[in-house]
Every structure is written in C-alpha cells, then in structure tokens.
Homo-oligomer: A and B are copies of this chain.
Amino acid sequence: MINWNNLDTLKSFQKLKDAKHIDLVKAMSGENGAERVGKYSVPMAEGMVYNYAAKEIDDDILSTLAELAEEAQLADKFKALYEGEVVNTGEKRMVLHQLTRGQLGKDVIADGVNKREFYLTEQKRIAEFAGKVHSGEIANAAGEKFTTVVQIGIGGSDLGPRAMYLALENWAKKHDTFKMEAKFISNVDPDDASAVLNSIDVAHSLFILVSKSGTTLETLTNQSFVMDALKKAGLNPAKHMIAVTSETSPLAHSDDFITAFYMDDYIGGRYSSTSGVGGAVLSLAFGPEVFAAFLDGAAAEDKLAANRDLFKNPSMLDALIGVYERNVLGYPSTTVLPYSQALNRFPAHLQQLDMESNGKSVNRFGEPIDYVTGPVIFGEPGTNGQHSFYQLLHQGTDIVPLQFIGFRNSQLENDVDIQGSTSQQKLCANVVAQIVAFACGKTDENLNKNFKGGRPSSIIIGDEVDPKTLGALLAHFENKVMFQGFVWNINSFDQEGVQLGKTLAKKVLAHETEGALTAYSRLFNI
C-alpha cells in the first residue's frame, strides 16, 4: 500500500531537520577527506560513479536519508510508476518514458496496447526509415541523398535532442558513424528559422516536425516557415518532412509528411529524448545503432534506480541529498558543471527537466504545501564557468551546491602536451582542484583573498562521453528529479504553469485585451 504524504508529515524528515550539520571544511581536509572520497561513492551504469564525498553529509545524516527513502516509499513509488500506475495525477496519465528503453517490471497495457511493444515498434520503424535515408532509398525528388536533418520543435522536443546531438556529434565523427548533420529550429522568433534555412541546402534537407499534441504554436509556425522555403525552392514539402507526434494529433496520418512516428501522452516532453522525439533525429544523424546504445545506457541506469538499497541507487541518493540541501540547509539553487565541451547544452536540458518538473507549489492532490520544492538550475561547461560565474560560487554571500561531471578521456583523442601535461589532464586537474577549493577553502588574513569553503559538491565521473554513458547520465537525472518529486509529494509530470501565458498571448494577438496587456501591446505596436 503506497501512501502519498507531504514531506513535512514524515518522522524521518523531522529527524533530518534535527540532525547535526557537518563542518565540510573539517570533513574534507587532510586524510579524513581522502577517506571520504573513497567511502562516499556509488557505482552508476556504464562504468561511471557518483561520488558525494564533498556533500554536507556523514553516516548519521545518510542513515536518516535512508529512513526517509523508506518512509516516503521511494522504491515502491518508482515501481508503481514503471508498472503503469497513474502517477501523473493532474493530467490523469501514466508515466512511461522508462519503457522506451527497457522494461523493469510487469507488462504495461494502456488503451489495449502493450506499451513496451509499441515503443519498440516505433524505434524499429525509425531505424528502418533512417537506414533507407542513409542508403538513398528514400531521397529527394532528384533522387539525391538527404545530407542534413532539421528538427522543428520547442521545449522538450528541442532541448534534450539538441543536447544529445551536440554531445555525440564529435564522438560519431571520430567513430565513423556520423551520417548527417542536424540543425534545430525552435524559437518563434522568425530570425531563428531564417538563419537555419539560410545555412542549409533545403533541396537536400529532411525536416522532422515534432509536437506531441500537434498544436504547439511555435512549431506549427516554423513548419509553415519551412514549407514556404521549400515551395519557393520549387520543392514539394511533403517529400521533405516527417512528423513525430501522438496518434491522436492532427499531424498523424497526414499527407503533409513522408511518414510519421508515434509517441503518446504517457511520455512528457522533457522526458522524451529516448522516444521518437530524440530517436528520429539521433538515428538519422548517427545511425540507429548509436541511438540503440544510448537507450541501453539509459536502461542500465534505470535498473539501478529500481534498487531498494539507497546506497546502491545513485539517483535516489542524489535526490535525497538535494532535498537535504533544499529543505534543511535552505539553498535556493544548484549549478550543473560538466567538464566536457560535448555536454555544452546538457545543463540547459537539465534546467528544463528539473525546473519544469518540480517547480510546483501544490502537492499531487492540488493542496498547498508548506515547504520549498525544485531549486533554480543553471550551468555552463567547465573550464569556461571558472572564468565566468565561479567568483560568486567561491566568495558570494549565498551557497550554491555544485554538480560536477567529468571524464577521464576526450572524445576526439587529439591532444597536445604543454608544460608537462595534456589538455585533458589539465581539464581533469581543474575539476579536482575546484571540488577541494569549494569544500575546504583557504584562510588568508586579507579577507578579499580568503575562501571560507564549506561549499558542497558531488561529481559524476566516467571514461568518456559516448552513447552509453550519455544515456546513463540522462536517466540518472530523470530519475533523480522523479525521486525528488516523490519526496515533495508533488506531480513532476504536468506543467500547468505554462498555460496562462499561452492564453494571454492569444488574447493579445486577437486584440481582446485591456489594462496593462493593452498598454504593453502598444509599446510593441501590436
């Protein structure tokens, strides 16, 4: 029997609030620090580890977090989710994105369909389609191969797939699996579509229109933009465009597309990178085998997330430490800092994943709650961030928990030795140095050069950004966000907060406004 209770009703949460805080500077200094680095580490999938030595935890706090995991029934709730319970209470929907990459429990039947089989079928259809595009069996009107793929989508149809594409672009080039360049059009700003269209050869471009509902205004507008460009070039838009949508959308079974691939309402936009939303563009760009490996990595990480033992479940542990930082220590934001240029846009994806899922003020039953939920998430790749906003992280008046991500090897394996070390070694040395600098600080009589330390971080370490590790990383954060939503007793799978803006924008365009809306509209001459 699963109980959905607010965090502040749980005994273990009261205990957590009463637990003695640790002195991170002391804990991470000297041999004690080295011991913690060895001890506070949990394996992730694909040879990665989640190391939480530099977090403000000790054995006492960890055991209370384990009690909280039990009391909040996190493992049971995850099991209920992947076995098809209607966890998205707001929209009365199942939450099935894990099924796009594996099956952890019993079959899930919805609308009379085995959903795992449905997602697998779509993956296979995409693989076959991609194969035909790569072989030239599906080609443009002149019988020439498509060389570029352009994804038209916004939010979850853009950020995740774009981040994944950028993460694997150089890896694929290095491993001779790079098939087609991908571009992305998202913003309703006409300069976005115009600039992308100016940069490509439309006659050799295949467009993927991605909208689950088939009604996303930005995406439909950009579809028209692209169709205009194709027509102006004397091309038939229907021969240059595919759709990724739900079977009930206006885009399904339409003559406007070469074909359509399907997802459904059980996969939220921000959780859709492992569905056809990511699958079409990644399979076309890198080949279906690369996309399959990406799914394997995600599935392997999902398996760990199903573990009932907190200390063998990296995403659950990450989630609970985050709750401790947010609800006990009171930190309002978290920064994601990948020491990898390939993960350039990974923080932007996590920003949506986390803030759209857990930026909520009511519980899953629509009742107000009396504690804070999702933090602000932001980040840029290291070492760039070091030369930008790290000043505030080191010496600012607020503490911002840090999530580092680092890899032992570069993707392209092209490197130079300068001053006795390679660039990759310098990159790794920097992230190591930062963890300790943030945790331990350094005393200086000149307070302007003094570092108080006590700034907590964790790090995920792997060998290389490749399809499997990337899939595992993605699933880790998806599951972390899910577990935090369970702890906060909120619905992490709807997004009612985006509706009001849409409604008012329509009123502005229809000139059905008054008051401030009219006054601002006049400033824009609309």
Distance from A162 Cβ to chain B, minimum over Cβ atoms (Å): 10
**Residues of chain B with a CB closer than 8 A to A519's CB:** 33-34, 37-38, 53
- Chain B residues lying within 8 Å of A408, measured Cβ to Cβ, are 524-525
A254 within 8 A of B: no
Kindly state whether residue A397 has any CB partner on chain B within 8 Å: yes
In the complex, residue of chain B having the shortest beta-carbon distance to the beta carbon of A524: B428
Instruction: Verify A501–B37 contact, CB threshold 8 A.
Output: no
**Of listed A189, A359, A520, residue having the most chain B CB within 10 A:** A189
In angstroms, Cα B499 to Cα A394, docked, is: 10
Whether A497 touches B390, Cβ cut-off 8 Å, given contacts A361-B395, A376-B398, A519-B34, is yes
Per-residue CB contact flags for chain A residues 183-214 toward chain B (1 = under 8 Å, else 0) read 00011111111110010000000000000000
**How many of chain A's residues have a CB under 8 angstroms from any CB in B?**
159
Q: Please give, as numbers and ranges, the residues of chain B lying within 8 Å of A386 by CB-CB distance.
A: 155, 498, 501
Among the listed stretches A74-82, A235-243, A429-437, which one makes contact with chain B, having 4 or more residues with CB under 8 Å of it? A429-437
Residue A10 lies at the interface, judged by CB distance under 8 Å to chain B:
no
- A515 contacts across to B, CB distance below 8 A: 28-34
Contact present for B218 and A447 (CB under 8 Å)? no
Task: Verify if A461 is at the interface (C-beta below 8 Å from B).
Answer: yes
Q: In whole angstroms, what is the CA distance A461 to B519 when docked?
A: 13
**Closest-CB distance, A7 to chain B (whole angstroms):** 12
Q: Which of these binds chain B: A12-20, A220-228, A272-280?
A: A220-228
Assess whether A190 is in contact with B412, with CB atoms less than 8 Å apart. yes
A335 to chain B, nearest CB (A): 8
A359:B432 contact, CB within 8 angstroms: no
B-contacting residues, A347-370, CB 8 Å: 348, 351-352, 355-362, 366-369
Say how many copies of this protein the assembly contains: 2
Q: A189-B383, A376-B400 are in contact. Are A194 and B412 (CB under 8 A)?
A: yes
Report the Cα distance A447→B431, complex, angstroms.
43
Within 239-276 of A, Cβ neighbours of B (below 8 Å) are at 269
Binds B, one of A296-304, A316-324, A416-424: A416-424
Given A154-B384, A387-B155, A500-B451, answer yes or no on A355-B37 (Cβ-Cβ < 8 Å).
no
> Do A372 and B356 form a contact, CB below 8 Å, given A34-B519, A221-B418, A441-B500?
no
Q: A90-B448, A154-B384 are in contact. Are A341 and B192 (CB under 8 A)?
A: yes
Closest residue of chain B to A51, judged by CB?
A: B523
Q: Which residue of B lies closest to A520 (CB)?
A: B432
> Do A426 and B394 touch across chains, with their CB atoms under 8 A apart?
no
Contact among B416, B439, B448, B508 with A496 in the assembled complex (CB-CB below 8 Å): B448
Contacts of A224 in B (CB 8 A): 416, 418
- Kindly list chain B residues whose C-beta atoms are within 8 Å of the C-beta of A191: 170, 340-342, 410-412
Nearest-neighbour CB distance to chain B for A348, whole angstroms, equals 6
Question: Pick the contact of A516 from B37, B419, B447, B451 — CB < 8 Å?
Answer: B37
CB distance from A463 to the nearest CB of B (A): 10
- Smallest Cβ-Cβ distance to A187: which chain B residue: B341
Distance from A390 Cβ to chain B, minimum over Cβ atoms (Å): 6
Pick from A388, A439, A452 the residue with the most CB of B within 10 Å: A388
Closest 3 pairs between A and B when the two form their complex, measured CB to CB: A359-B392, A155-B387, A33-B516
Q: List 19 A-B contacts (CB under 8 A).
A: A155-B388, A158-B387, A189-B341, A190-B410, A190-B414, A191-B410, A193-B423, A356-B392, A359-B396, A360-B396, A362-B395, A373-B397, A374-B392, A376-B400, A393-B497, A395-B497, A406-B524, A432-B520, A435-B516
